[in-house]
Amino acid sequence: MIIEIFYNSILSALLLSLVAIGFNLIFNATKVFHLAHGAIYIYAVYGLFYFNFLLVQWLLPVMAAIISILLSLILIVGVILLIEILVYRPLYLKGTNPTISLISSLGVYILLINIITFFYGNESVSINNNFNIVFSNQWFKITESEFVQLIVCGVTLIGVFLFSKSIYYVRIRAIGDNYAVAAKFGINIQKTRLIALVAGSLLVGIAGMIKGYNVAIDPHSGMTVTLAAAVAVIIGGEGSLKGTILACLVIALIENFSILIFSSQWKDTITYILLILVLLFYHKGLISINQRIETR
Amino acid sequence: MNWLHIIFVCEIYIILTLSANLVSGYTGLLSFANAAFYGISAYLTALIMKNYGLNYFFVLPIAMFFNVVVSLLITYFSTKLKNLYFIIATIAFQIIIFSVLYNWENVTGGSDGIPDIPKIEILGNTLNSTLDYTILGGIFMVLVMAFFLSFRKTPFIRLLECIRDHELETISLGKNIIYYKFVCISISSAFMAISGSLYAVYNNFIDAKSFTLDESILIVSMILIGGTGNVIGPIFGAVFFVLLPEIIRLFPIETSQGASIQMIIYGLIMILVVRFRPNGLFGKFRFQ
């Protein structure tokens, strides 16, 4: 029982950490509270579903799957580029504040989600319906989709680790600290913003596709996913990728173990109470980066 | 098309947006917890009227008082958190309240909601028709509007605007800003109770799905599009947002697609207003 809960927590923590790291990168670089992150997540699922549906008539299933994954990644990169060029960049050039960009991001989210519901309706889609068991013993079992999830999340997290050692991540942190100083040191701010947005969106796209492979997704679930990621970023401490991953693990453990005490419908409530407590009493988050007192 | 129903919904939303505007527009605390107060008062009214059979006009003050008590929490957030973090805290508060209303099945009926809420009785006459409720809602709306219109040039409102624009300077003038924030958030949440209780008795039935985060987002976008920090802006926003679905319904589109088109228009308007007219159509103030 305990082992099974622990295993489930790790699975959901891995998935949440991909979304949250993406959110963290974008929030750090652009200071936009990127609610449209959830829309990107939904676009990845629907893109995969739609392209797969089209291609599977012409190609072998494996080929169709691979090509449709690539196509939907291209789709979400296109969407995020459009969002940046049409919405976020003009606001940034105008000199904006977090509240204004939050509202415009909310507008983008509503727009994108309802374009999906206009064409597909409100029904949820799922890509895969088989639950073949890969490995099982007396304590727990791993299904095929969970196996895929473990592998893909692991590889992606290694990719994130390599990315966090690269010059690009240093630049993202630099412009996150101070736009003006970073620009004086020759960092191309527009390009760095783009890199952060694209990297974050790719991460959330991968998370969406894994989730869509696992369970049915309905178009309005994007907001919940983004808010969960935002909770992880705030609890973990902004600007710290390690903190975000740690916070995802903490949230997943608390949510999954709370089932032992409360019924499962109170999961969200517990997470958001945790968020409010962290905001009020432990504002720096779990792992915080030292800052000058006046910038805190 | 039932025009009386639409007018009633307009009245409810005008009361909601005007009271939300006191917090978001005048004091600059953008709160996404409006639907929570709307919902709490609706549930409280429904429960008391159904279980104890009290008259509506006794229940309304109780609901208002209870809302004020709950709003102490928002006041506490506003004193400790700023800008983005205040917004996130109110979003979290909204989700928690929704989750309590939705999941606390023994009291709120969970996903089934509360059916058979008694109608209002005035001097032995039961109000049944939509017209009665439209008139009652109209009276409340006019009272709330008169309150805000007479309120807008008072020193109290100036002080709230002062807190919004220069919080530090206000403190250094010796003003107790916690007290002023408390008063403003209390007034706002008390007025929201009027909307909530009217909605509950008018509808006969409530469930938690009417008080989600989306509802809060709708109220906030009404204020933002009309413009914050005055009286005409929120009224325009509320009327516009209530009438938009009816206008879309005139075109020959399927209902579900019509709903999507309506939301697409909301989203577009939000993006465009923020980009080209951050003050809203009639507003004086833009969020800092």
Mean pLDDT of B166-174: 86
Instruction: Name the residue with higher pLDDT: A71 or A95.
Output: A71
pLDDT of residue A243: 85
Tally of domains within chain A: 1
Q: Which domain holds residue A194?
A: 12-217
Mean pLDDT of A93-117: 85
Asked if residue A236 belongs to a domain, the reply is no
Mean pLDDT of A110-120: 87
pLDDT of residue A138: 66
Average pLDDT along chain B: 85
B42 in helix, strand or coil? helix
**Euclidean distance between CA atoms B100 and B114, whole angstroms:** 14
pLDDT of residue A285: 66
Instruction: Name the residue with higher pLDDT: A285 or A65.
Output: A65
Report the chain B residue with the minimal C-alpha distance to residue A117.
B260
Q: Does A106 touch chain B (CB under 8 A)?
A: yes
Query: Are residues A104 and B275, on separate chains, in Cβ contact within 8 Å?
Result: yes
User: What are the CA-CA distances from residue A200 to residues A20, A25, A26, A220 (Å)?
Assistant: 9, 6, 6, 20
For chain A, first and last CA: distance in Å? 43
A186 pLDDT higher than 60:
yes
Comparing CB atoms, the residue among B83, B263, B286 nearest residue A110 is B263
pLDDT of residue B174: 87
Average pLDDT along chain A: 83
Tens of pLDDT, residues A36-54 = 898 999 998 888 888 888 8
- Tell me the pTM: 0.89
pLDDT range class, residue B248, cuts 50, 70, 90: confident
**Euclidean distance between CA atoms B27 and B165, whole angstroms:** 8
pLDDT range class, residue A134, cuts 50, 70, 90: low
Tens of pLDDT, residues A193-225 = 899 999 999 999 998 888 887 777 888 888 888
Token pair, residue A259, equals 């089932």
Q: Could you tell me if A209 and A48 are in contact, meaning their C-beta atoms sit under 8 angstroms apart?
A: yes
B65 pLDDT higher than 90:
yes
pLDDT of residue B142: 92
Q: How many helices (H) and strands (E) does chain B have?
A: 12, 2
Tens of pLDDT, residues A221-236 = 888 888 888 888 888 8
Give the DSSP H/E element, type plus range, for residue B201: helix B177-203
Q: Does A85 touch chain B (CB under 8 A)?
A: no
Indicate the DSSP class of residue B22.
I
Tens of pLDDT, residues B3-32 = 888 898 999 999 999 999 888 888 888 888
Q: Could you tell me if B37 and B196 are in contact, meaning their C-beta atoms sit under 8 angstroms apart?
A: yes
Least confident of A250-254, B120-124, B130-134, B222-226: B120-124
pLDDT range class, residue A127, cuts 50, 70, 90: low
Q: Could you tell me if B134 and B142 are in contact, meaning their C-beta atoms sit under 8 angstroms apart?
A: no
A290 pLDDT higher than 70:
no
**Euclidean distance between CA atoms A131 and A135, whole angstroms:** 12
Asked if residue A228 belongs to a domain, the reply is no
Mean pLDDT of B275-285: 69
B95 pLDDT higher than 80:
yes
Most confident range (mean pLDDT) of A70-79, A120-129, A235-244, B124-133 is A70-79
Report the chain B residue with the minimal C-alpha distance to residue A99.
B84
**Euclidean distance between CA atoms A76 and B241, whole angstroms:** 31
Report the chain A residue with the minimal C-alpha distance to residue B288.
A97
pLDDT of residue A93: 85
Contacts of A227 in chain B (CB under 8 A): 91, 95
Query: Are residues A230 and B88, on separate chains, in Cβ contact within 8 Å?
Result: yes
- What ipTM goes with this model? 0.85
Asked if residue A34 belongs to a domain, the reply is yes
